[in-house]
Amino acid sequence: MSEPIITFDDVSKRFGAVTVLDGLDFNVAEGEKVTIIGPSGSGKSTILRILMTLEPISGGTVWVDGEPLWHEKAADGSLKRPSERHMRHMRTKLGMVFQSFNLFPHMSVLRNITEAPVQVLKLSKAQARERAGDLLEMVGMSDHRDKFPNQLSGGQQQRVAIARALAMRPKIMLFDEPTSALDPELVGEVQEVIRRLADAHDLTMLMVTHEMRFAREISDRICFIDKGRIIEDGPPEAIFSDPREERTREFLGALLGEG
């Protein structure tokens, strides 16, 4: 397996007195598709939010693509507080798709996708439009480029959100429960887009989902997390068919019981 593109090295995260991540060690290899599963409140979204620089860490070190995420290397090799410039640079490596789409409501579909490439990557408008056109085709939204988010279904908005994240050409895509806010009949179209991405690209993908069948289908590896620690990880067949740990078995058993 290639070098990790994401490393959590003894990472802790506290909100006040509450410890959410407790000395977390976690790696994702370049190109790997990893899904994090676990009970509500176990810290799954927090891992993604730390990677997206939306939540600072309380201890430890996070490495992304060979560079520290929440630190910056000083001239003597030690790690110091990161500059805003360093954080901006690191953010360009990652794209995130949220549960609630988060499109810019006052911008057309096309503008939602071209805005950051023009503002941040300094692409020309023509270049950004060309890139957006390709991505809209890939997510099956070419006919909706001039609409506004409130004129789209949830599934359509989420497909645009995926295109918007990809327009920045991130090395890593993070998906935080990308289908859980959708009506059941719209889940399939979003999963199909993610499945195609997983099949066709050397993109690294890290996803949080409660859709176990989908996780099993697209992941190289499943991590079961409980109370901020990875309890068990391995290929989907092993985790879903023959989990080693009692806690994993209980979690999956409860899910199947509910279904």
Ligand X SMILES: Nc1ncnc2c1ncn2[C@@H]1O[C@H](COP(=O)(O)OP(=O)(O)OP(=O)(O)O)[C@@H](O)[C@H]1O
Contacting positions for ligand X (CB under 6 A): 15, 20, 38, 40-46
State the minimum distance, in angstroms, from the CB of residue 60 to ligand X: 16
Strand 67-68 to 59-64 pairing: antiparallel
Quote the least distance from Cβ 43 to ligand X, whole Å.
Answer: 4
CB 46 within 8 A of CB 13: yes
Contact 167, 114 (CB under 8 A): yes
Q: Which is nearer to ligand X, 110 or 212 (CB)?
A: 212
For residue 17 the two structure tokens come to 């007195």
When the beta carbons of 48 and 110 are compared against ligand X, the nearer one is 48
245 HSE (CA, 13 A, CB side): 15
Q: Is the distance from CB of 164 to CB of 116 less than 8 angstroms? A: yes
Which candidate, 123, 121, 68, 58, places its Cα nearest to that of 90? 68
Shortest Å, Cβ 144 to ligand X: 29
Identify which of residues 86 and 101 has a Cβ nearer to ligand X in the complex: 101
* CB of residue 57 to ligand X, shortest distance in Å: 13
**Helix orientation angle between 184-200 and 154-166, rounded to the nearest 10 degrees:** 20
**CB closer to ligand X, 17 vs 126:** 17
Nearer to ligand X, 139 or 207 (CB): 207
Least distance in Å: CB of 251 to ligand X?
Answer: 11
- For residue 195, the Cα-to-chain-centroid distance in whole angstroms is 14
